[in-house]
Chain A
Amino acid sequence: MSGTIPSGFTLPVQVVEAAGVTAWLAEDHAVPVISLSFSIPGGASLDPEGREGAAALAAALLTEGAGDLTAPAFQDALRDAAISISFSADRDEFSGSFRCLTDALPEAARLARLALSAPRMEGPDIERVRARAIAGARQALESPRGQAGRVFWSTALPGPFGHPPGGTAETIAALPAEVLRGVPARQFRRGGLLIAASGAITASNLRDLMETLFGDWLAEAPAALPALPPFSARGVQVVGMDSPQSSAVFGQPGLAVDDPDWEAAGVVMRVLGGGGFSSRLMNAVRVERGLAYGIGAGPEPVAGRSLIVGSVATENARMAETISVLRGEWARMAASGPTEAEREEAIAYLTGSQPLSFTSTRQIAGILLALQRNNRPLDWLANRPARLAALSRDRLAGVAARLLRPGDLAVTVAGRPVGL
C-alpha cells in the first residue's frame, strides 16, 4: 500500500440560475443518465391537525394521472421510457426527484411538469391510493421495529414533527379530497426551493428544465414551519406486543446543523455508533456479546436542528442487558471522548470515503441537495478533509461531553422485554 487518498475528492459544482431559483449542478457525461432532486421546507409538518398524512398522500397522487393522461396512461408513459419520478413528504420538507436516460429527458421533463402543475387527483384514484396507504400504515405496525419507531418519534417530538409523515390508518381514512387537492398550492413556492442536478446535462439544458418545472410557481417564501418542540422523551418506555424479539429505538437531542461543533460531533458519533463494524456500540453489543445483529446511532436532522437516534433488536430476555451496555458506552464516550487511535481511524474513514459518495448521479444529486439544505458553501467538501484533520482529541472529548447526555438517553422498546 502506498500513497495517500486524493483528499477532498469532489466534482466541480456549477451554480445555475433560472426561473428565479438557483440549482447546484455536477455535470458529468460519463454515463448517459440525469438525476435531479429538489426540496421545499414544509412537508408533513404543514399537515393540519387531524389531517396527518395529507402531504404524503398528495405527493403519491402527483404521479397517478396528470394533464390529459389518466393514471394508467401516466404510469405507462413513465415506464415506457424508464423514467422514475417520485415525490414525498418528509417530516420537515416536501421533496421530489427524477432520473432518466439522456434520450428520455424531454419526455421526463414533460411528465414531471404535468405532475407538478396539473395532477388530476380524481376520486377513484384518490380512493385507490388511499387504500394502499392505509394498508401500508397498518402493516408498518406489524413489527416491533415499526411500533417502537412510531412511539419514539411521537414521544420525542410531540406535535406535527413527531407524527408518522405518512399519517396513521385513521387520519388517512379521514382525509377529504379537497385537502389533498390543496396540498400543491400550500407547498409549492420558489422561495426556499432547493435544486440539485447531476449527470449528463449541461447548464443550459438545466436552465430550460428549471423553467419547465418551476417557472410557474409563486415566487413567494414557503409557508412558515411550526415551532419544533423541545425533545420530550424520557427514560424507558415499553410498548407491549407479542414477539420473540424486542426492538428498541433510542435517542436524545442533537446539535443544530449550523452548530460549529457539527462535524466534530459527526466524528464522535462515527466512533460511538457509526456504520460498519468499527464502532464501540457494534463492538460491545454484537462482536463481544452477540446481543444483536446490528446497532447504530447517528444524527437525524429535523427543521435545522437534530436528534441523535439509534436502534437495536434483541431477544426479549436480553433487552435489559443490551440497554445497560448501550448506556454504559454512551456514558463512557461522554466522560472521556474517543481515544487518539479512534480519532485517527474515524477521520481517515470520513476523509477517505469521500470519493465513494460520487459514484452515481442519484447519490451526487442527493449530496448536493443536502449541502444546500444545511446551508454549506460550495467548497464545503473540498475543504472538509482539512477541517477534519484539524480536530484534536481534546476538542472531540469536549464535544462528546457537550453532546452526549447519558441521563437523557430515552429508549422506546416494543416487544415483551424481560425486566424493564
Chain B
Amino acid sequence: MLPLTRRAALATAAAAQAALASRAPAQTPAAAALPAPAPIPADRPLFGARLWTLPNGLRVAHVRTRGAPVVAHYLFYGVGAGDDPAGKSGLAHFLEHMMFKGSAHVADGEFSRRVAREGGQDNAFTSRDVTAYHQTVEATRLALVASMEADRLRAPLYPEATVEPERAVVLEERRQRTDSSPRARFREAFDAAMWGRQHWRGRPIIGWEEEIRALTRDDMLEFHRRWYTPANAVLVVAGAVDEEALRRVVESEYAGAEGAPATPRRRANPPPAPLEGRLVRNDPGVREAQMLRAWIAPTQTWGRDEADRAHGLPLEVLAHLLGGGPGSRLHRTLVEGGLAVGAGSGYDSDELGASSFGIFATPRGDTAPAKVEAAVEDEIARLLDAGVTAEEVARSQRQLTAGAFLSLDGLGAAPRLLGSALAIGLPADAVEHWPAQIRAVTPDAVMAAARAVFTHPSMTGWLLPEGTRAP
C-alpha cells in the first residue's frame, strides 16, 4: 500500500571490478590470508532474466535463483499516479488499496489472509510510473498467488460498502505521510509550485485531499478496465522455480485473461521553465532549515530532442560526482567546509516522462541560509566554467557500479528493477547491463548533460523555522 518511488536500490547496491583490480591488497597480516576469488566478469548480465510474452500481451520475466525454497511474485501494471485523470489525483493509489477488497473468486480481505495462511507475505505499491502487487511465498505456493493475482487482474469486485472505510484509511495515510510532516508538506508544495498543481509531475502520488474525497467506485472500475490489462502488465518471478514449472503456472493462470491492447501513455511536456522561481516557507513545526533546488531534466524516456534523451545516464554520473555523499563536490564544499550538516543531489534517469535534477542542503547550526545558497551556486558555476576531470568521472563510475552484484543478495531487487523498467517501456538491458552503460559514459557526455540541465532556469525552495530570514 505504500506509494514508493522506485530506484535507489541500484545506487546503493550497485560491483566493480575495475576498482578492485586497481586496489592494493589488504595490508593486515591476518586479512592477507583471506583469498580473494576471481571477480565476476564485468559484462555478465546482472540477473540473467529470461523474457517471454503471452499471446494476450502479458510480458513475463523470470530470474532463477539458488538458495532458500522461496519465490517472489510481482505483477507490475504500466500505470501510476502520473496517469491519474485530470482532477482525480490519487486514483491509481486508491484503486491499489481497493484491489484487496475482493474479486470473482476471492472475497473481501481474503487475498492477504490466504497468503498469510500459507506462510507468505504480500503488499503493493504505487509510484508515478507503476502500480505493483507482490507476494513472497514458499516455492510450492506460487500457483496459489498467481491464481489469486490473475483473478483480480480480470475484474475487481469490491463491495460498495468497503469504499468509504477505505477512503478514511487513505486520508489517514495522507495525514501520516504528508500532513503531519513539515518536510513532506514542503516537498509537496515545492513540486506543485514547480510543475503546476494539476500537472502530472506536480501532483502528489497519494492525491490532493479534496480530490481523494471525490473519487468514486465508478472512477476506479473505469481506471481498472482501461489500464489493468495483460498487455499493459509485466509479471516478474524471482526465486526457486524452474522456467518450465513457471511457464506452466503462467500458462494456466494468466493465459486466459483478456483485455484491450496496451493503452499508450501520454505524459504532458514540462513547462518551459519552473512555474515559480522561489518558494519560501516558514513553518513553526520545523526545527532545521532545508534548501532545495531543482531543474527540469530529461530521462531515458523523455527529452526536448533526441540529443536530450541521451543525457540520462551521464546525469546519473553527474549526480554522484556533484552530490553523491562523502567525497562529492557539494559534500566537500558544504559539509566538510562546515556550512551544512548534509548536502547532496538526487536524480533518476529511469522514469517515464520529464523528471528533475535536485540539490538539497541542511545548514549547519546558525549558518545563514544565504551563505549556503551562495556556496551551491558557486559549485554550479565552477562546474559549468571549469568542467569535470577524468579522475572524478572514473571515481563516480566505480562507486556507482561497485555494488551492482549485491543486488543478487535477496529476492526483492530483481523484480523491482526489472518490473519498473519494463513497465515504462525500457528494455531489460537497461537493468541487466546498467553497470557497463554507466562505465561507458565519457567526461564530455557528463559536461554536455550538465549544460543541458544547469543552463535552464531552476527553482529554489527554503523551508525555515519561524523567525529565520530567507536569503
Q: Which of A138-192 contact B (CB under 8 A)?
A: 138-139, 141-145
Is the pair B26, A109 in contact by a Cβ cutoff of 8 Å? yes
Q: Does B118 contact A (CB under 8 A)?
A: yes
Q: Which of B379-422 contact A (CB under 8 A)?
A: 395, 398-399, 402-403, 405-406, 408-411
CB contact under 8 A between A215 and B116, given known A1-B141, A81-B23, A102-B36? no
CB contact under 8 A between A138 and B406, given known A106-B26, A109-B26? no
Enumerate chain B residues within 8 angstroms of A362, measured Cβ to Cβ.
409-410
Is the pair A360, B409 in contact by a Cβ cutoff of 8 Å? yes
Is the pair A276, B116 in contact by a Cβ cutoff of 8 Å? yes
Is the pair B27, A9 in contact by a Cβ cutoff of 8 Å? no
Q: How far is the CA of A110 from the CA of B33 in the complex (A)?
A: 11
How far, in Å, is A156 (CB) from chain B's closest CB? 23
Enumerate chain A residues within 8 angstroms of B40, measured Cβ to Cβ.
32, 101, 103
How far, in Å, is A247 (CB) from chain B's closest CB? 7
Is the pair B285, A242 in contact by a Cβ cutoff of 8 Å? yes
Of the candidates B17, B113, B144, which one forms a contact with A277 in the assembled complex, judged by CB atoms under 8 Å apart?
B113
Enumerate chain B residues within 8 angstroms of A45, measured Cβ to Cβ.
none
Is the pair B117, A349 in contact by a Cβ cutoff of 8 Å? yes
Of the candidates B31, B34, B38, B70, which one forms a contact with A355 in the assembled complex, judged by CB atoms under 8 Å apart?
B70
Stretch at the interface among B152-160, B163-171, B272-280, B350-358: B163-171
Size of the B side of the interface (Cβ < 8 Å), in residues, is 93
CB contact under 8 A between A199 and B409, given known A208-B33, A244-B179, A315-B172? yes
Closest to A35 in B: B409
Q: Does B210 contact A (CB under 8 A)?
A: no
Question: Scoring B residues 315 to 359 as 1 if CB is less than 8 Å from chain A, else 0, what string do you get?
Answer: 000000000011100001001101001100000000000000000
Is the pair B172, A356 in contact by a Cβ cutoff of 8 Å? no
Q: Does B120 contact A (CB under 8 A)?
A: yes
Is the pair A81, B20 in contact by a Cβ cutoff of 8 Å? yes
Of the candidates B26, B68, B164, which one forms a contact with A290 in the assembled complex, judged by CB atoms under 8 Å apart?
B164
Q: Which of A325-350 contact B (CB under 8 A)?
A: 345, 348-349
CB contact under 8 A between A138 and B287, given known A80-B402, A128-B335, A247-B180? yes
Q: Does A289 contact B (CB under 8 A)?
A: yes
How far, in Å, is B117 (CB) from chain A's closest CB? 5
Q: Does A95 contact B (CB under 8 A)?
A: no
Enumerate chain B residues within 8 angstroms of A11, measured Cβ to Cβ.
68
Is the pair A212, B20 in contact by a Cβ cutoff of 8 Å? no
Q: How far is the CA of A141 from the CA of B33 in the complex (A)?
A: 48
Q: How far is the CA of A101 from the CA of B27 in the complex (A)?
A: 19
Q: How far is the CA of A143 from the CA of B175 in the complex (A)?
A: 11
Q: Does B284 contact A (CB under 8 A)?
A: yes
Q: Does A264 contact B (CB under 8 A)?
A: no
Of the candidates B31, B183, B341, B406, which one forms a contact with A212 in the assembled complex, judged by CB atoms under 8 Å apart?
B31
Enumerate chain A residues within 8 angstroms of B165, measured Cβ to Cβ.
287-290
Q: How far is the CA of A43 from the CA of B19 in the complex (A)?
A: 35
CB contact under 8 A between A33 and B169, given known A212-B31, A215-B30, A313-B176? no
Q: Does A412 contact B (CB under 8 A)?
A: no
How far, in Å, is B363 (CB) from chain A's closest CB? 9
Enumerate chain A residues within 8 angstroms of B19, measured Cβ to Cβ.
80-81
Most buried by B among A241, A313, A351: A313
How far, in Å, is A57 (CB) from chain B's closest CB? 13
Is the pair B109, A245 in contact by a Cβ cutoff of 8 Å? no
Q: Does A23 contact B (CB under 8 A)?
A: no
Enumerate chain B residues within 8 angstroms of A208, measured Cβ to Cβ.
30-31, 33-34
Q: How far is the CA of A31 from the CA of B407 in the complex (A)?
A: 10
Q: Does A218 contact B (CB under 8 A)?
A: no
Q: Does A278 contact B (CB under 8 A)?
A: yes
Enumerate chain B residues within 8 angstroms of A355, measured Cβ to Cβ.
68-70, 119, 138
Is the pair B144, A354 in contact by a Cβ cutoff of 8 Å? no
Is the pair A1, B176 in contact by a Cβ cutoff of 8 Å? no
Enumerate chain A residues within 8 angstroms of B181, measured Cβ to Cβ.
142-143
Is the pair B119, A349 in contact by a Cβ cutoff of 8 Å? yes
Q: Which of A79-132 contact B (CB under 8 A)?
A: 79-82, 99, 101-107, 109-110, 113, 127-128, 131-132
Is the pair A142, B287 in contact by a Cβ cutoff of 8 Å? yes
Q: Does B74 contact A (CB under 8 A)?
A: no
Is the pair A352, B287 in contact by a Cβ cutoff of 8 Å? no
Q: How far is the CA of A289 from the CA of B14 in the complex (A)?
A: 43
Of the candidates A75, A128, A293, A348, which one forms a contact with B327 in the assembled complex, judged by CB atoms under 8 Å apart?
A75
Q: Does A260 contact B (CB under 8 A)?
A: no
Enumerate chain B residues within 8 angstroms of A32, measured Cβ to Cβ.
37, 40, 405, 408
Question: Scoring A residues 58 to 78 as 1 if CB is less than 8 Å from chain B, else 0, what string do you get?
Answer: 000000000000011001100
Is the pair A31, B67 in contact by a Cβ cutoff of 8 Å? yes
Enumerate chain A residues within 8 angstroms of B338, measured Cβ to Cβ.
127-128
Q: How far is the CA of A316 from the CA of B93 in the complex (A)?
A: 24
Q: Does A135 contact B (CB under 8 A)?
A: yes
Q: Which of B10-60 contact A (CB under 8 A)?
A: 13-17, 19-20, 23, 25-28, 30-40
Q: How far is the CA of A363 from the CA of B27 in the complex (A)?
A: 30
Is the pair A290, B109 in contact by a Cβ cutoff of 8 Å? no
Is the pair A245, B116 in contact by a Cβ cutoff of 8 Å? no
How far, in Å, is A92 (CB) from chain B's closest CB? 28
Of the candidates A79, A110, A314, which one forms a contact with B172 in the assembled complex, judged by CB atoms under 8 Å apart?
A314
Most buried by B among A134, A138, A245, A293: A293
Is the pair A358, B68 in contact by a Cβ cutoff of 8 Å? yes
Q: Which of B169-196 contact A (CB under 8 A)?
A: 169, 171-173, 175-176, 179-183
Q: Does B136 contact A (CB under 8 A)?
A: yes
Closest to A289 in B: B165
How far, in Å, is B353 (CB) from chain A's closest CB? 28
CB contact under 8 A between A80 and B398, given known A9-B68, A358-B68? yes
Enumerate chain B residues within 8 angstroms of A205, measured Cβ to Cβ.
34-35
Closest to B404 in A: A82
CB contact under 8 A between A361 and B409, given known A75-B325, A109-B31, A356-B120? yes
A-B contact pairs, 11 of them (CB 8 A): A5-B140, A11-B68, A32-B37, A33-B406, A79-B327, A82-B14, A106-B26, A132-B341, A135-B362, A288-B165, A292-B172
A interface residues, Cβ below 8 angstroms from B: 1-3, 5-6, 9, 11, 28, 30-33, 35, 71-72, 75-76, 79-82, 99, 101-107, 109-110, 113, 127-128, 131-132, 134-135, 138-139, 141-145, 199, 205, 208-209, 211-212, 215, 241-245, 247, 275-278, 286-293, 313-315, 345, 348-349, 351-356, 358-363, 415
In the complex, given contacts A141-B287, A247-B180, what are 12 additional A-B residue pairs having Cβ atoms less than 8 angstroms apart? A33-B405, A80-B19, A109-B30, A110-B26, A110-B27, A113-B28, A128-B336, A276-B116, A345-B117, A355-B69, A356-B138, A359-B410
